Structure 1
Amino acid sequence: MIYALRWLMSLLFIIQMYLAMVVLAIVFAPYAIASRKGAWAGIHTYCNWVRLSARWMVGLRSEVRGPVPTGEVMIASKHQSFFDIILICSVVPRPKFIMKKELKWAPILGFYAWRIGCIPVDRGKKGRAIAEMKKAVAAGAAIPGQLIIYPQGTRVAPGATPPYKVGSGLLYQQLAQPCIPAATNVGVFWPRHGIYRKPGLAVVEFLPAIPPGRPVADFMTELERVIEGASNRLMADAGFAVARAA
């Protein structure tokens, strides 16, 4: 009975979450058209609403730990579900993303992504995609902000260990900016697929910066070590059984 009630509340939460997206997108559209500040204001408002409504409707509290990046930096984050995007964008002042090329045509998302300077990439082209990504990032550098990337390239279920992709290292080399790793445990409560949202404490944690100038191979090794280590710690704190390395 309790599970059925929580499942129903999860469904209602998801419905209102997307309704709120549409409503706030319309409300902030004139401001977003006039200024990029309006687009960021709309995104911050929406993300904070999702955090608030998740706490109220499904008992999913959320917390962002560590110093919030505010300067010209690259944020390399563990990506487990939509909720880690919500948490990061609720606090980072000028977020922009490396995103799938198809999303630029998506209603609402495409417009706001364009306004804040997101960089669309055709991930199916592999090596060519990296060259296009680097070119697009260079072109998008005129829009200041915090560039958010996902080193594993996609959402990853808790406990899964797909490899880190070298594209994040090449961007680190190109941008010559500090990289802020970010760990999370949100997938324990908000899975990649499905409706049910578990109550608990979802966390995104910003970790100490990796300064610019390291060789790409060293950077990739350090990035994976700190993100995976901190994410495993956060998931274990949330009650998830993290497999020990052999």
Structure 2
Amino acid sequence: TDGFYTVSVTATNSAQTSYAVSASMTVSVSSGLSCVQANPTVALSPSGTQSVSPGTTVPYTVTVTNKDNSGCAASIFSLKATVPAGWTGAFGVSSLTLSPGAASSTTLTVTSPASAASGSYTIGATATNSANASFVGSASVTESLVASLTLQVGSDQASYSPPAGANLTATVTVGSTPAAGATVTFIVTKPDQSVITVTTAMGANGLAVFNFRLKPKDPSGLWQVQAVATVNGVSGSSTTSFMVQ
């Protein structure tokens, strides 16, 4: 470790230990590594587009990494949020103190006004070296405000003759983009008014699927299907039907 160290040497007469002499010196140790500063890196998570209703509070995790080399001392990085006009953005802490190569995280809580128009908005976070503001890093994500989800539900056949397998699918989108993280509840009402309810997550392909088996004892007639999708407080629904012979 860099610093100043004292080195002592003592010579003692082996036959008469009262006769001794000593000397010492101070040694300076330095690695010789100069400090080279660099822009910090900043990451926001979740990094994918978040689809929420206006007025929703969304928490993001902000991670800052000090990219200075090991010849530098620890640095304090001041944090700043960039949000649309009328929105609020608050950090869990206002700054992070990091040694070279170290990383740390805090929360950025973003709230849109309830009156905000539907659309896509950019949320940003910036970390600036407090001792030298020329070293700065930033990251951004997109937040989509939507009043409702677009949902389409259908069956693989218009009519079934039990015993048979039935396949229901639901497509959930925000505009033309799959609504990542959406859950879909299928509500199937039989002609005798008994109900089947199943909740499933939307897959990576943008579809939610419910497969079930129609039995010979199931009632014939028109079966009604309602699908309800939700994600981050935003919802949408759609209906369809099929016949059982």
Give TM-score scaled by structure 1 length.
0.23
Larger of the two Rg values belongs to structure: 2
Larger RCO (CA under 8 A, 6+ residues apart): 1
| More helix per residue | 1
Give TM-score scaled by structure 2 length.
0.23
| More strand per residue | 2
